[in-house]
A and B are shown apart, each in its own frame.
Chain A
Amino acid sequence: MAERSFAKEVQSLKLGDGAEFKGEGILAVTKALLQSGVSYVGGYQGAPISHLMDVLADAEEILTELDIHFEASASEAAAAAMLAASVNYPLRGAVTWKSTVGTNVASDALASVSSSGVMGGALVIVGEDYGEGSSIMQERTHAFAMKSQMWLLDPRPNLTSITEMVEKGFELSEASSTPVMLELRIRACHVHGSFKAKDNVRPGFKLRDAMENPVRDYDRVVLPPSNFVHEKEKVEQRWPAAIDFIRENKLNEFFGGHTASHGIIVQGGLYNTLMRALAILGLADHYGETDIPIYCLNVTYPLLNGEVAGFCVDKKAVLVVEEGQPEYLEQAICTILRREDISTKVHGKDMLPLAGEYTGQVVCDGVGKFLQTHAPELVETATVIGSSLPEDSQKTLFETVPNRPSGFCTGCPERPVFTAMKLVQRQLGNIHVSCDIGCHLFSILPPFNIGNTTMGYGLGWSGASAFNTETSQRTISIMGDGGFWHNGLTSGVGNAVFNKNDNILVIVDNGYSAATGGQDILSSRAENSSKSTKNPISKAIAGLGIRWQRTVITYDIGAMMRTLTEAMTTPEKGPKVIIAESECMLNRERREKPIRNQRITEGKRIVRARFGVDSDTCTGDHACIRLSGCPSLTIKDNPDPLREDPVAYVNNDCVGCGVCGEVSHAAVLCPSFYRADLVYNPTVWDRFTNRFRGLVIGFLQRRADKRRAKFSFGDL
């Protein structure tokens, strides 16, 4: 079960012609797919398009009604390969993933489908994870579009434009026999807005029709000599067809005035940011009225030579607002103008930053600079924006405000794995740790500071494969269950078995693809009506030939330390795998908490555990925090006026996972931790024993109180 349920929201996917659709960008894209008559959809989750996968999963009923097949693909490569269905048949299909990491994984299949060309419209919806909030390396999807020759759509970030572009994308794909990528930036994926809906369209030609009447066309297979023919087709037929379609359907837009000697060329996705910048500079209003000519590229690849030249020819200078690097658009525009012998000056990365997100402030500064150079009369009175704080205040803030990186959630079962690793390192010395993608990558941050590299999803163990030599210190690699099924099974485990690796892999098995939003995977323990779950990782790796494997409950830090130490020191050669198993606490609490509360109201006996720290015995060293990092384990003022350092304190978010207690035992920390079991709806026996204990304990405590009272200093 995914972290977020869209069960309620997906009902809006049924809206008919003319109704107003309100909701998140991702949901709107799904609606547009249904309006376009797709036959199949698939993809792999990952921010910012995780919700698209969740919406599709929750909409399965509606999809089935419309004869649409939904595939929760094993990886982006699997999803991209699914587009093969559109090569021979007039079937529309869409796949989605996080870019550029997902596009990297998918690029083998993408290159093939781009070479073959498609008959039915093939749309790849990529969530461009770039800029603030991104968790990956900063690259551009643009490069993939160029190298494989897929068209790249970058619509203006409002639901009407986005959904229109989905529909047009399919048409463009069919008109030019080329797969099309639709790029959505992080915040566009999650923008809440509205658009006018249309009726859903049931595909005319169905998957079943293709399976029952298969068509073979040798020309569409990527194998000599067809592949050489494809390359010619790409430039001689598909490209011109695409250019015609884009021009005729006016996919790119012209805004603003027509007479100025300067203009701005902008990626569609940045249009709103640009307009806000112009509004702040007093050069546009909030309806988009402006005298400055704007050429808005909703299609960023391919460029239309005629449109670009036409826009530039009467201008002295243009500014290209293009996010990310290298500056492909700027280069292409320069080439077009040079070939047409147009001398318009092209600005872009000389006035805007070479790298980094183009936020409102950045675009404001860049546009201001451009206009100061080419239309100074416009910006004389322009507002200076930005922080009005004096420099020394800025400096104080910079020193005061700490970073707040993401971290493991309260009660997370992955945390104790790294606690154990940190403690084992104290005994065995530092260990080279190769990380993977997933929540467990937070191990590289404080307080754990464990991990050397991360090479990609499921590539944790391969990332350490060079270190396979005679030594006294083995390496440890990390992989999540998500990464294991995505790629790690073959690239990691199979690779290690085949190459007789002598090192250690820790598979963190929390039952979900947790970092992407808690989607089910093969080894999930949950029931799933439409997918096959409960296929244990232990069996899979045994099948691959792993002979040394141990399964440890992550919360048992002592056992984890012993197992890690054994793996590090055993004379036995060969790959060693430790499966660290415990359910993702976020998912578990979401499921269990309502049930627990229900039982309590029903009058059933429930014991709820939570932890605490005695501020009397805590001396404020915070060793526990450095070994745990749990958000609910925090600090507060020391109640002892003589002591200066704050004491540890467990706040009320504690879910009672028990890691603090385990840590203080395993690391021999201090006697301050206690576990409190709160009994709800106690039985008669509970009450009886409690009263009896209370009598004895109370008697002794009163005696002690009296004795202390004899030495009272009074109360201040």
Chain B
Amino acid sequence: MATLSRDKPINIAIIAMGGQGGGVLSKWILNLADSQGYIAQYTSVPGVAQRTGATIYYIELFPAHLAEQAGKKPILALTPVPGDVDIVIASEMIEAGRALMRGFVDGNTSFIASNHRDYAIFEKQEMGDGRRPVDEINSLAQETAREFICFNMDAAARSVGSVISSVLFGALAGSGALPFKRADFEATIAASKKAVQANLKGFELGFETATEEQVTNNSPVEKPEPAQTYATTVAKLMVRMECEFPPHAHFYIREGLKKLVDFENTDYATLYLDRLAQIYKTDKQTGGSGKKWRLTTESARYLALAMAYDDVMRVADLKTRSDRFDRFRNEVKAEPDQIVHVSEFMHPRLEEIAEILPIRLGQFMLSSKAVRKISGLFFNKGRRISTTKLGGFVLLYAMGRMSWLRGYSLRLLRENQRIESWLVAIEDAAQRDYALAIEIAGLQRLIKGYGDTHARGLHRYSVIMNVYDKIKDGADAAEAIARLKAAALKDEEGVAFAEALYTIVGDGTQPSTNLHV
């Protein structure tokens, strides 16, 4: 019988996306181990797999002195085996989930992960919110790993002008999972001779955060509500909100009022409260008090969005505001005194111009072939307008000041018609089924964007409203509307929507893969 030695390697798997610095981190670990008398083996899969896809870097470290004593060379593996990984490092939260899913993390594993999100294309491309929840990953990691060090290492790295690999390396040092001293880690970074100062700062941040008292549940701290000071011009609106509406709805109503006063004026905001009061009345009749006034609350939200639609004046106004200038400087990481020129990609079409004009004129422009032909010369291509230069700024600024035109515009007429019939439908639905009314209110979510996007959303909205008329007496109408809404937000081509329509209405319309349903 052979006597088996108990010497074993330290196995490290790094789960990352290609180009995210997993290679740099691996090299550091390799060099560090090498300098500390370890036999180190490292493998990865470069090439196409690394073009932004998920990939695994794998390292095994074996104490050289043990191998010398044994007089033999260790046999090191090239891929991680579930249940046999000592340290797992994930460079992003979904990748942490992937590490768990592949079984690399168990009760003996030190698990280091950054909890920031780098959204996958499947999450980004949805028309609604396709983001996957990561709370489950967080709690599973806590339950499974020997220790779980998790914080936003991406933000930490950015805060010191470094890259995530330095923070991960720091967190690895801080975890104490490797038998090396902090100074040895730092010496490895210094020896690499690339961006040493920034990387050392990132390392320090990683180390310090990892060794701090573990804050595992970083639930948002309850902010004390500061005293509200509103201007006398809006006092009437606010007082009316406080007196007439239940506190549950106050947050959205206040945001709605803010938006609508900003969008048009206080009269328009008063109209909002009038309309909402009607809904609240229905809410009271249909037992809303026992349901936290959800109908009023949800309607407060969606009605504000419906009334503050995005027209040319609105966009022009938003584009020229001072806080917007601060924001883009911040977003592009401009230095304090740096000159930044900004140009906007605008593509106004005849429709957008006509709809802000007085009703008759707008209708004429849209119906006249001659106008369409002539305007084609102006609206056939996108324009770049520089808001940081005088010509562009003044143009947009002036357009932004023309919101008084709205009261006479074709667009407002159309929006009012749609909103009124929508509100009637909500009230009608509430009489049948409270949940159904909430679904109808939520359909506003489909109407967003500009141009074709807006037209498509509006079209799907109308289709669902038609379906509503057919099925409103059914017991599962609320569920059907919810399904249709989710399907309408699923894909642009309308495949999911057509399928959902087919199963719910079943009127013989076969699901179609036609591009524009």
Contact = CB atoms under 8 A, between A and B. Distances in A.
Contacts of B43: 187-188, 190-192
Interface string B3-24: 1111111000000011100000
B252 A642 contact: yes
B318 A614 contact: yes
A233 B230 CA distance: 99
B450 A670 contact: yes
Q: Which of A279, A634, A697 has the most CB of B within 10 A?
A: A697
B30 A713 contact: no
Interface string B318-342: 1111101101100111100011111
Interface residues of B toward A: which range?
A: 35 or more
A408 interface: yes
Contacts of A680: 338
A397 B233 CA distance: 52
A364 B331 CA distance: 51
A622 B77 contact: no
B41 A622 contact: no
B174 interface: no
Contacts of B233: 710-711
Interface string A679-703: 1101000110010010011101110
Contacts of B234: 711-713
Nearest to A610: B332
Interface in B379-398: 381-382, 384, 387-390, 393-394, 397
Contacts of A517: 46-47
Given A188-B78, A670-B451, A286 B9 contact: yes
Given A621-B449, A626-B125, A665-B347, A686 B339 contact: yes
A569 B180 CA distance: 68
A673 B17 contact: no
B76 A272 contact: yes
Contacts of B125: 446-447, 622, 625-626, 629
Nearest to B225: A716
B305 A409 contact: no
Given A191-B42, A289-B3, A361-B81, A619 B310 contact: yes
A682 B339 CA distance: 8
Interface stretch (A46-54, A206-214, A501-509): A46-54
A612 interface: yes
A134 B327 CA distance: 43
B122 A403 contact: yes
A246 interface: no
Interface string A439-468: 100100111000000000000000000000
A288 B72 contact: yes
Q: Which of A50, A670, A674 has the most CB of B within 10 A?
A: A674
Interface string A23-34: 000000000000
Interface in B344-386: 344-347, 349, 381-382, 384
A386 interface: yes
B5 A287 contact: yes
B333 A652 contact: yes
Q: Which of B6, B97, B129, B234 has the most CB of A within 10 A?
A: B129
A143 interface: no
A401 B390 contact: no
Contact of B453 (A277, A623, A682): A623
Interface in B280-334: 301, 304-305, 310, 315, 318-322, 324-325, 327-328, 331-334
Contacts of A222: none
A360 interface: yes
A512 B280 CA distance: 65
A709 B44 CA distance: 57
A442 B4 contact: no
Interface residues of A, number: 145
Contacts of B102: 387
Nearest to B258: A713
A92 interface: no
Contacts, number: 425
Interface string A627-656: 001010111000011111110001010000
B10 to A, nearest CB: 11
A290 interface: yes
A361 B82 contact: yes
A306 interface: no
A272 B384 CA distance: 60
Contact of B345 (A429, A640, A674): A674
Contacts of A191: 41-43, 78
A641 B251 CA distance: 9
B271 interface: no
A286 to B, nearest CB: 5
B262 interface: yes
Nearest to A48: B47
B100 A273 contact: no
B514 to A, nearest CB: 9
Given A614-B318, A676-B342, A187 B78 contact: yes
A619 B457 CA distance: 12
Interface string A376-411: 000000010111110001101110111111111100
A371 interface: no
Interface in B451-510: 451-453, 457, 492
B5 A286 contact: yes
A248 interface: no
Contacts of A158: 73, 75-76
A671 B344 contact: yes
Contacts of A342: none
B48 A400 contact: no
A697 B445 contact: no
B157 to A, nearest CB: 11
B393 A612 contact: no
Contact of B49 (A135, A558, A625, A673): A135
Given A642-B259, A671-B346, A679-B338, A664 B17 contact: no
Interface string A93-121: 00000000000000000000000000000
B124 A634 contact: yes
B319 A614 contact: yes
Contact of A693 (B52, B56, B79, B389): B389
A652 B345 CA distance: 20
Contact of B342 (A132, A279, A674, A704): A674
B51 A287 contact: no
Nearest to A700: B397
B453 A273 contact: no
A617 interface: yes
Nearest to B450: A670
Contacts of B405: none
B301 A276 contact: no
Given A430-B515, A645-B445, A674-B345, 20 more contacts: A160-B73, A385-B83, A404-B95, A407-B53, A617-B315, A620-B128, A621-B449, A621-B453, A635-B131, A641-B252, A652-B333, A661-B384, A666-B382, A669-B347, A675-B343, A676-B328, A677-B341, A697-B390, A701-B325, A704-B400
20 contacts: A48-B46, A286-B5, A388-B107, A389-B100, A400-B137, A403-B122, A407-B53, A429-B515, A446-B122, A621-B457, A622-B125, A641-B255, A642-B305, A671-B345, A674-B343, A676-B332, A696-B390, A700-B393, A700-B397, A704-B321
Interface of B: 1-9, 17-19, 30, 34, 40-56, 58, 62, 67, 70, 72-84, 94-95, 97-98, 100-103, 106-107, 118-129, 131-134, 136-137, 140, 144, 158, 225-226, 228-231, 233-234, 238, 251-252, 254-259, 261-262, 266, 301, 304-305, 310, 315, 318-322, 324-325, 327-328, 331-334, 338-347, 349, 381-382, 384, 387-390, 393-394, 397, 400, 445, 448-453, 457, 492, 515-516
Closest 8 CB pairs of A and B: A47-B47, A665-B382, A360-B81, A387-B103, A133-B45, A406-B53, A619-B448, A385-B83
